C-alpha cells in the first residue's frame, strides 16, 4: 500500500537558509546531500509526497528542480510556495476521517473559513510557539524541514499525534 508523506521548505541550493534557520550543515552541498538521503531513506518509489512549497532557490530554478526531483523517491505533488513558480496554490485531501488543507503559508486568505486541519510550511522553526509541528488549538501542522527533522513525515504519524491532543513543537 502506498504511504503518504508531507514536507516543506527544503530550499535546495539556498546557501543563506543554513544561517537563517540555523540548519546543522557546513555548506549547501552537505545540506542537499543529507536532505536527499533522508528523503530516500524514508520514502519508497510508490509512495506519495505532498511537497508544500519552497523546493529550491537557485539561478536556474526549473532545471535544478528537475535534476533534484529525478533523485527523489515517490510521486511528488507540489503545492506552490512563495519561492516557487509551479504547483497548485493549495489542495484539500481527506484521509482516515480527517480533512486537511495542504498549503504553503497558513496565514493565507484561503485558510480563513476552512474547518479542517491546515498542514503548512513557510514559518520554518522560527516561531515554534505559534507554529509548532502540531497545534491542536489552531488545528495547524507545520511540516517545514527544520520542524520534522529534515525528512518527510508520514501522515499516519500526524494523525496519531493529532489524536493525543497535545502540542508537539518538533520531531526529534
The 10s digit of each residue's pLDDT in 23-36 is 999 999 999 999 99
Question: Please, what are the domains in the chain?
Answer: 4-164 (3.60.21.10)
- Report how far residue 45's alpha carbon sits from residue 67's, in angstroms, rounded to the nearest whole number: 17
The 10s digit of each residue's pLDDT in 43-74 is 999 999 999 999 987 666 666 778 898 999 99
Query: What are the respective helix, strand and coil percentages of the chain, to the nearest 5?
Result: 25, 25, 50
- Report how far residue 76's alpha carbon sits from residue 73's, in angstroms, rounded to the nearest whole number: 8
Instruction: Select the more confidently predicted residue: 69 or 38.
Output: 38
The 10s digit of each residue's pLDDT in 100-110 is 999 999 999 99
The 10s digit of each residue's pLDDT in 138-171 is 999 999 999 999 999 999 999 999 999 999 999 9
- Report how far residue 140's alpha carbon sits from residue 48's, in angstroms, rounded to the nearest whole number: 21
Note if the pTM is more than 0.85: yes
- Report how far residue 79's alpha carbon sits from residue 90's, in angstroms, rounded to the nearest whole number: 6
Closest CA to 119 of 154, 68, 149: 154
- Report how far residue 43's alpha carbon sits from residue 151's, in angstroms, rounded to the nearest whole number: 9
Amino acid at each position: 500500500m502506498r504511504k503518504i508523506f508531507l514536507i516543506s521548505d527544503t530550499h535546495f541550493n539556498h546557501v543563506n537558509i543554513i544561517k537563517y534557520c540555523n540548519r546543522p550543515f557546513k555548506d549547501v552541498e552537505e545540506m542537499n546531500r543529507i536532505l536527499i538521503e533522508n528523503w530516500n531513506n524514508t520514502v519508497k518509489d510508490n509512495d506519495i509526497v505532498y511537497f508544500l512549497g519552497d523546493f529550491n532557490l537557485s539561478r536556474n530554478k526549473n532545471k535544478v528542480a528537475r535534476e533534484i526531483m529525478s533523485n527523489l523517491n515517490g510521486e511528488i505533488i507540489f503545492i506552490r510556495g512563495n519561492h516557487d513558480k509551479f504547483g497548485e496554490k493549495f489542495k484539500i485531501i481527506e484521509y482516515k476521517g480527517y480533512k486537511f488543507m495542504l498549503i504553503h503559508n497558513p496565514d493565507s486568505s484561503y485558510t480563513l473559513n476552512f474547518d479542517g486541519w491546515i498542514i503548512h510550511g513557510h514559518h520554518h522553526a522560527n516561531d515554534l510557539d505559534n507554529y509548532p509541528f502540531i497545534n491542536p488549538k489552531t488545528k495547524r501542522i507545520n511540516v517545514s524541514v527544520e520542524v520534522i527533522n529534515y525528512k518527510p513525515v508520514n501522515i499516519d504519524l500526524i494523525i496519531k499525534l493529532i489524536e493525543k491532543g497535545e502540542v508537539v513543537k518538533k520531531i526529534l
